[in-house]
């Protein structure tokens, strides 16, 4: 099926996060690769596919469709060869595809030069509680479902670079969550059931295909233990023509929220931050920390500026704000705040704000 090879990496990563009991968040790979269906191996078909592929890769790396409309991006879409790394043909289930890889650094530089947001490879993991209803049944879509909606979510996940996880719907899930809980938006019930899953957020969604049009509804919430949910972070209800459109709009809505929180555009101003790690015991940890910072979308450059005992201080030049940096660091399982037992007042979205008086920031421990 379309994009089968590219989709599998995202969902395999999510599966491992659940079954190895790791912390939340997931690394999304193949952000610079895509599969585009072609009718033949002709030059005309290849040129058309390369333009389509570049649009898809820009979407995955920026997270927003608005980026594709930028004049700088449109110019490259018309002539994508300068960004091309390699391409080749593949046949999948009897259908011909052009498999395309673009140069990662050039894609990122294109977005930076246009002052467009850049979304890094480490992204929130989202648990999807989905009820699908047709003329025959109303059911919760589980991790092993063979329903068309499950495959459509997998394709949309790959296209947008949004890692997803479906509930396994074992005895515990079935005892705790019913289709009516999801359709009725009984948030606290579903939130409690979500705690067993290693996800950052959860979505409650329903898709009703019984009428001439397809009706969908979804709401996104943070998976924060002990949090009181007043309103969703983002939500939408709409009538569309088909289930494919419904799934794409649900994923697009979730993606747009994440882009606003985790994708970083170059502010054009010079900002820096100082981050201190403690309990450093060998050189390998320093190398790993520096390598980690270099791949963050919020960081222009990083330098080790102080090493005293087992404490290491890094100075970072930022594309965005220090608040942006801290949000991204919260997604990294190898980074732990030193004094996590201290009480924190949470924002409405379930994450702690950056104190306005804080300059140095908290101390961290590297768990790698």
pLDDT of res. 204? 97
pLDDT digits (tens, 9 = 90+) for 137-165: 899 999 999 888 999 999 999 889 999 99
pLDDT of res. 227? 56
pLDDT of res. 118? 96
Burial of 96 (0-12, 13-18, 19+ CB in 10 A): middle
For residue 193, the 8-state DSSP code is H
Distance CA 201, CA 287 (A): 31
Distance of CA 108 to the CA centre of its chain: 17
Q: How many C-beta atoms surround the C-beta of residue 117 within 10 A? A: 23
Sites in the chain below the pLDDT cut of 50? 1-23, 340-348, 350-359
pLDDT of res. 223? 86
The first and second tokens of residue 159, run together, are: 């296209």
Distance CA 83, CA 99 (A): 15
Distance CA 107, CA 333 (A): 27
Class (C level, CATH) for 271-366:
alpha beta
Distance CA 224, CA 44 (A): 51
pLDDT of res. 19? 36
pLDDT digits (tens, 9 = 90+) for 305-351: 999 999 999 999 999 899 999 999 998 989 998 864 444 444 445 44
pLDDT of res. 360? 54
Strand 26-27 and strand 126-133: pairing?
Answer: unpaired
For residue 83, the 8-state DSSP code is G
Phi, psi values for residue 26, rounded to 5°: -145, 150
CATH of 122-262, one of 3.40.50.10070, 3.30.450.90, 3.30.420.40, 3.40.50.2020: 3.40.50.10070
In the chain the beta strands, taken as DSSP E runs, fall at 26-27, 33-37, 84-92, 95-102, 122-123, 126-133, 138-140, 164-165, 201-208, 214-222, 234-240, 271-278, 299-308, 311-318, 335-337, 363-366
pLDDT of res. 27? 85
**Taking a C-beta distance cutoff of 8 angstroms, is the pair 27, 121 a contact?**
yes
């Amino acid at each position: 099926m379309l994009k089968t090879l590219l989709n599998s990496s995202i969902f395999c990563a999510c599966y491992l996060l659940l079954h190895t009991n790791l912390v939340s968040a997931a690394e999304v790979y193949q952000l610079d690769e895509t599969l585009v269906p072609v009718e033949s191996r002709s030059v005309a078909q290849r040129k058309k596919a390369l333009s389509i592929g570049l649009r898809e890769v820009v979407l995955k790396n920026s997270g927003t469709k608005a980026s594709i409309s930028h004049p700088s991006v449109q110019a490259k879409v018309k002539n994508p060869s300068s960004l091309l790394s390699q391409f080749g043909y593949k046949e999948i289930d009897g259908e011909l595809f052009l498999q395309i890889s673009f140069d990662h650094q050039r894609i990122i530089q294109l977005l930076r030069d246009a002052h467009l947001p850049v979304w890094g490879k480490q992204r929130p993991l989202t648990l999807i509680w989905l009820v699908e209803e047709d003329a025959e049944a109303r059911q919760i879509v589980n991790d092993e479902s063979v329903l068309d909606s499950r495959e459509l979510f997998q394709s949309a996940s790959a296209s947008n670079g949004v890692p997803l996880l479906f509930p396994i719907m074992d005895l515990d899930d079935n005892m705790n969550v019913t289709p009516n809980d999801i359709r009725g938006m009984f948030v606290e019930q579903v939130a409690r059931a979500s705690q067993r899953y290693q996800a950052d957020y959860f979505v409650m969604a329903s898709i009703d295909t019984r009428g001439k049009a397809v009706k969908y509804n979804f709401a996104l919430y943070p998976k924060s233990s002990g949090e009181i949910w007043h309103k969703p972070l983002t939500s939408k209800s709409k009538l569309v023509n088909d289930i494919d459109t419904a799934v794409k709009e649900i994923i697009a809505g979730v993606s747009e929220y994440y882009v606003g929180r985790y994708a970083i555009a170059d502010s054009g101003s010079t900002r820096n931050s100082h981050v201190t790690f403690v309990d450093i015991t060998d050189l390998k940890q320093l190398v790993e920390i520096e390598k980690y910072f270099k791949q963050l979308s919020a960081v222009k450059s990083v330098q080790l500026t102080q090493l005293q005992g087992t404490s290491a201080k890094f100075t970072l030049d930022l594309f965005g704000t220090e608040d942006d940096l801290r949000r991204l660091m919260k997604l990294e399982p190898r980074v732990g705040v030193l004094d996590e037992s201290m009480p924190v007042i949470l924002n409405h979205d379930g994450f702690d704000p950056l104190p306005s008086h804080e300059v140095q920031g908290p101390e961290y421990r590297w768990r790698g």
